[in-house]
Chain A
Amino acid sequence: MEQTTRDELLKLFQSKLNEAMRLYLETCTRCGICTEACHVYASMGQIKYISAYRHEIVRRIYKKYFKGRGKLWPSVGESKELSERALEELYEAAYSCTGCRRCMVYCPFGIDTQMLMSIAKLLLIGAHAEPEILTLLADTSIEKGKSLELFKEGFLTGIKNLEAQVVEKWKIEAGEKAIPVDVEGADLLYVALAGAHSIVPAAAVFNAAGENWTLSFFEAVNFGAFVGDPTKTKLILDRILDEAKRLKVKEVCICECGTAYRLMKQLSGNQTFRVSSITEVHARYLREGRIKVDKSKFKEPVTYHDPCQLARNAGVIDEPRYILKHLTHDYREMSPDPRYNWCCGGGGGLVVLGEENLDFRMKSARVKAEQVKETGAKILATACENCHTQLGNLNSHYDMGVEVKFLSSMVADALVR
């Protein structure tokens, strides 16, 4: 690696250093409590997948270039040069980690592996060694934000074609719009994903609850976060923030996308509107009696997979359970403590890589498949797009014999007057 490249990369490394990051980099005692925390290690048993081992890959470079010790006595901390080989190791560590933060529950200090992997991801971007597809998708999202007018018409036509499907699920009064778009002064801005499955059921439930809502022009997913580019993450997030401010909404509701919700909730700063996940909104409608659902709609046993970014990392834990108790007589908990729910293995952008890492995704999530099977449930509900895709893949790979469903579409399907 050329010195200039290395210097550029080290500048990127430096940009990630703040109080929390330094605490995470400087405190690990390598006690090994985190060994069993990672689903990849639990499923595949290779040392390189233990959280502390992943940390060390970043930490060794940190010691070499940012600590006096790395210069005076490099061997004591095994500090390591930032080289092409080191980049390969960083890739392996970062793109086998889903950022589920389960290890953070085990660590006696609470070291955040996702944070440390974000350094690895940024270095990979700097070296143009990140998965290209993620950068490409992030750039597309940003471009869409810059030139809204260009795609507006196509979007509106697409939405119009979906309206019939919404009405099929929930009839509305003549003259009302099944999917309102660009409504200034709406109470709630719904940020969906590009796909009917994310828009149609949600629209039906909003209409059933008599919500004064409007659909966002933008999709919630943040590829900037998956690839670990802070600037792009912010640009993608800003598109939605700008729209929410322009429409003067009181609430921004994020669709079933764990990362998008966590980013909006935790990274958007103090806003005049509140941020909710669609799961929270549905639970609220049920609690307030604004929608009613048929409890006998789903006859088979149901279990729920807590998306890591939504539950462990953003606190939406009770709401999906509250909803499911209205949807079924036979709800089965997957793990006695939601903090310990296994990751599905699809987070951190891994699922977006599709076929490229399918084999790894399947092998690394064996424990998840077993956890689902043990419940004996026939319906596996979840509230995250990535989890849904990954669980679908797992279902066929491990012959789990379940139907993977979005929680929001279960609510829409069970709506009654």
Chain B
Amino acid sequence: MCPQSTGAPSLCSWGVSVETVYFIILIPMVYAAFAVFVLGVVIRLVKLFREPNNPTTLQIYPEKRPRWLWALNDTFLLPTVRRHKPVFWVFLMLFHICFLLLIIGHLELIGDFRFFQLIPHEVFLGKGFVGLILSVCVLYFLFRRFSSPVRELSIPEDYYLLILLFLTIFFGSQMDWARRWYDYGNLSVVEYREYVLSLLYLRPHVSSDLTSSGHSFMLVLHVFFGNLFLMFFPFSQLMHSFLSLPMNKLRRG
């Protein structure tokens, strides 16, 4: 039932309840986002690597061997950034490490992986600081684009992605912060885990605990922006996460 109309148009007045919107974001959109993400990435990678190789080497000298090891070094430790932009390098490394920790955090919603618990921790790991560091890093990446010469190099895609990433991380972290730092106990890992597993086992279910809490909108916004991010991923420069290694291998010969 819709409450008494206050004059302003609301979702409700169009016959759409908030619950419906929550439901669409939390279930069909998540499936759609993952489908676009996985298919998009796979199709792009397959198409790319079926292209013919360049007839000549694209190597830079002096060469160092073994080449694959140096290519790994270039890909994961970003030595060129460390040398030329040390401050940026610190943020980049922090960002990528924390991003990896967040992925682990989300995987731990699926189940208890003993491997991840080598250092015992609560889910999500990092006591809220992972999200905090990530938020700060993304803001740094965004703000550095506002000043020349990176401003002139940037295109809308770069801003959209960073804003999307910030919103996703911020709303996601906010749930963690609320629980850890402000003793907000209404939403916990138990509810998230139930939701994620229901999605995984294709028996999607959104419990009322998840949608009736005062912080539910944060979860929904987190999932909404996360979905958009995943759907944009295969078509954007974010593909660098898969393409950096083969490219660095080209440079190393």
Contact = CB atoms under 8 A, between A and B. Distances in A.
Contacts of A108: 74, 78, 80-81, 244
Contacts of A110: 58, 60, 74, 247-248, 250-251
Nearest to B61: A315
Q: Give the interface size class of chain B.
A: 35 or more
A109 B240 contact: yes
A315 to B, nearest CB: 4
A8 interface: no
A18 B55 CA distance: 9
A361 interface: no
B156 interface: yes
B62 interface: yes
Nearest to B71: A110
Nearest to B238: A29
B188 interface: no
Given A78-B156, A338-B62, A339-B62, A267 B51 contact: no
A111 interface: yes
Interface string B22-55: 0000000000000000000000000011011111
Contacts of A27: 237, 239-240, 243-244, 247
B5 interface: no
A105 interface: yes
A123 to B, nearest CB: 19
A35 interface: yes
Given A18-B52, A27-B247, A108-B74, A312 B61 contact: yes
A56 B153 CA distance: 8
Query: Which of A31, A33, A338 neighbours the largest number of chain B CB atoms within 10 Å of its CB?
Result: A31
Interface string B144-181: 10001110111111101000000000000000000000
B156 A76 contact: yes
Nearest to A315: B61
Contacts of A338: 62
B57 interface: yes
Given A17-B51, A76-B156, A110-B250, A32 B149 contact: yes
Contact of A313 (B61, B85, B240): B61
Nearest to B244: A109
Given A17-B51, A31-B150, A26 B60 contact: no
A317 B154 CA distance: 36
Helix, strand, loop or mixed for chain B's interface? Answer: helix
B158 A35 contact: no
Contacts of A67: 235
Given A20-B250, A69-B235, A110-B250, A315 B62 contact: yes
Interface in A38-87: 47, 50, 52-53, 56, 67-69, 75-78
Interface-central residue, B244, B246, B247, B251, by most chain A CB under 10 Å = B247
A22 B246 CA distance: 12
A112 interface: yes
A311 interface: yes
Contact of B61 (A75, A109, A314): A314
Interface in B76-96: 78, 80-81, 84-85, 88
A121 to B, nearest CB: 16
Contacts of A311: 61
A18 B150 CA distance: 28
B157 A77 contact: yes
23 contacts: A19-B49, A20-B53, A22-B51, A23-B250, A24-B247, A26-B48, A26-B239, A31-B81, A31-B88, A33-B88, A36-B84, A47-B152, A47-B153, A53-B153, A75-B156, A104-B251, A109-B248, A267-B56, A311-B61, A312-B60, A314-B61, A315-B63, A339-B60
Given A19-B53, A30-B237, 10 more contacts: A18-B52, A20-B53, A20-B54, A31-B81, A35-B149, A47-B149, A68-B235, A105-B80, A110-B251, A317-B61
Interface of B: 48-49, 51-63, 74, 78, 80-81, 84-85, 88, 144, 148-150, 152-158, 160, 235, 237, 239-240, 243-244, 246-248, 250-251
